[in-house]
A and B are shown apart, each in its own frame.
Chain A
Amino acid sequence: MTLLALSGVTAAYGASPALFGVDLTVGAGEVVGLMGRNGMGKSTTVKTICRMLPAQGTLTFAGHDLSRLPSHRAARLGIGLVPEGRRCFRDLTVAENLTAAARRGPWDMAAVAALFPRLGERRGQRAGSLSGGEQQMLAIGRALMTNPRLLILDEATEGLAPIVRQEIWRAITRLKQDGGLAILLIDKSLRELSQVCDRACMLERGRTVWQGPMDSLTPEITARYVGV
């Protein structure tokens, strides 16, 4: 079943067009990698899905038309975002960050602490005083506390130490193994993406140029559109 569907999506930052025709589908329980070089429109696509940027074209989520919804209504439909740059609520503690976002469902404080034991240990610590890796875990935990049907991770491992990156990838793999949660991943680590993703979508200059199963992604395609 298709959960998220984008067709012919265009968007602009003021007078500057950024997306010229993005097509993307994510099925229930599917893990999709959104790939492309820097500046090709990956994060802009995420902003249009989360309704942080107005867009034209067809955007549906679980049968609902996203194009007229404000950001918080889109999130309530079940879209959980881990934004680029973590962006935790710095003045709140770990527990308060999670509580503020909590909605009814299987993901609660205990489930998040089981996924990231470090967050459980630092429940009372202010988010602003956490390390970068811990803040990233908190950002993922906060998105999970909304009990989403689709989790979007925008550069979730960027700028982190290798050991922390491994921990984040382990958590993403576990989320996939648990099933039920669709994941849209943006990341530069092709190796990890290829291990965890079912499908990939390539963006080039604000357009979808390739979509398909991960195992059909050839070195030629990645060399052409990702540059590796």
Chain B
Amino acid sequence: MSRERAFNLAALALLVAVPAWAQLTGETFTITLATRAVIFALAATGLNIALGLGGLVSLGHAVFFGIGGYAMGILAFHAQSYTPLTDWPVTIPGTKLMPVIWLVAILVSALAALLIGLLALRTTGVYFIMITLAFGQMFYYFAISWPAYGGEDGMAIYVRNGFPGLNTLIPIQFYGLCLAWLLVVLWFNARLARSRFGLALNAARQAPQRVETVGLDPVRLKLVALVISGAVTGLAGALFADLNRFVSPTMFSWQLSGEIMVFVIIGGVGRLFGPVAGACLFVALEHLLGGITAYWHVWLGVLLLFIVLFGRGGLVGIFAGRGAVHD
């Protein structure tokens, strides 16, 4: 067994064992923390598809996270206020059903990623970063100026949405749902990386012009990666909104985009469990150091500095060796 595989299995065991222990000992807050970590891991796994496989340094992934969140918020708001989303041309009601909300979050995020990608992928390097950042700011200020859905104050959802057969208000059950999604997406990500599309995308990240000479369109490859990435991050946003039962424009903020990227870099860019390790460490530091000082981000900064300078494979790379990891 490779060291990376051992690391992944250990991380998986912790994701199961810690909440199970918390459930047995009545530490429900720990389950909520674990849920937060798993949802952040899901968002970062989405970014890892674009960044790790496709080399797309997106500073606007909070757009998709926010779209997912608002998809949940808007659908649940209309359901709880018994008002339809629209009456024309057909009446579309709100919903409190998670599967429907997830589907809408995934589709709308994917569509947004497609439209953003069509424009942003005309550029590369620092210009791509700036365009994605600009889209993030556009969505952020749009959400602030949208009073129908709470504007700057955001929007509260009174009761967590439902999933058939489960009581999602019980923390461990909602955690189970989030963990199941994370595992599905990790499995999908692993398959994607080994597929012909994933290999071509990896090749396009290394050398776009060389990929063209074998008949592959690097822009199209990256666009598909960005759409998949956006859809996954949108799903994470819907789950995050359900966890907090609250959505606000901060879900679109550039700081959140930066945090999602930090999860990936700390854990290991392009590593399957890198985003999981990064998100779990972030949430743990936030909880442990946040109780000691309000300036705990200083220590996060020191850690990030250390990893960027001395361990570019991230936590997974430090444990499992640099391997095929890239910058």
State the A residues within 8 Å of B (CB): 50, 52, 70-72, 75-76, 80-81, 83, 87, 89-92, 96-97, 99-103, 126, 142-143, 145-146
Contact = CB atoms under 8 A, between A and B. Distances in A.
Interface of B: 196, 199-200, 202-203, 206-207, 209-218, 324, 326
A30 to B, nearest CB: 21
Nearest to B199: A100
Contacts, number: 67
* A-B pairs with lowest CB-CB distance, top 9: A75-B215, A71-B212, A101-B214, A100-B199, A89-B203, A76-B215, A72-B212, A81-B213, A72-B217
A75 B214 contact: yes
B326 to A, nearest CB: 7
A102 B199 CA distance: 11
Contact of B196 (A76, A80, A99, A143): A99
Given A75-B215, A99-B199, A146-B215, A91 B324 contact: yes
23 contacts: A52-B209, A52-B212, A71-B209, A71-B213, A72-B211, A75-B213, A75-B215, A80-B214, A81-B213, A87-B210, A89-B202, A89-B206, A89-B210, A92-B203, A100-B196, A100-B199, A100-B203, A100-B216, A101-B215, A143-B214, A145-B214, A146-B214, A146-B215
A74 to B, nearest CB: 8
A91 B84 CA distance: 52
Contacts of B207: 87, 89
A19 B324 CA distance: 40
Given A87-B207, A91-B326, A50 B213 contact: yes
Nearest to B197: A100
B225 to A, nearest CB: 14
A91 B213 contact: no
Contacts of A83: 210, 213
B202 A92 contact: yes
Contact of A100 (B214, B217, B324): B214
A131 B111 CA distance: 45
B196 A102 contact: yes
Nearest to B214: A101
A58 B202 CA distance: 35
B213 A52 contact: yes
A73 to B, nearest CB: 8
Nearest to B196: A99
Contacts of B216: 72, 75, 100-101
Contacts of B199: 92, 96, 99-100
A103 B215 contact: yes
Given A75-B213, A91-B202, 7 more contacts: A52-B212, A72-B213, A76-B215, A83-B210, A89-B207, A100-B203, A100-B216
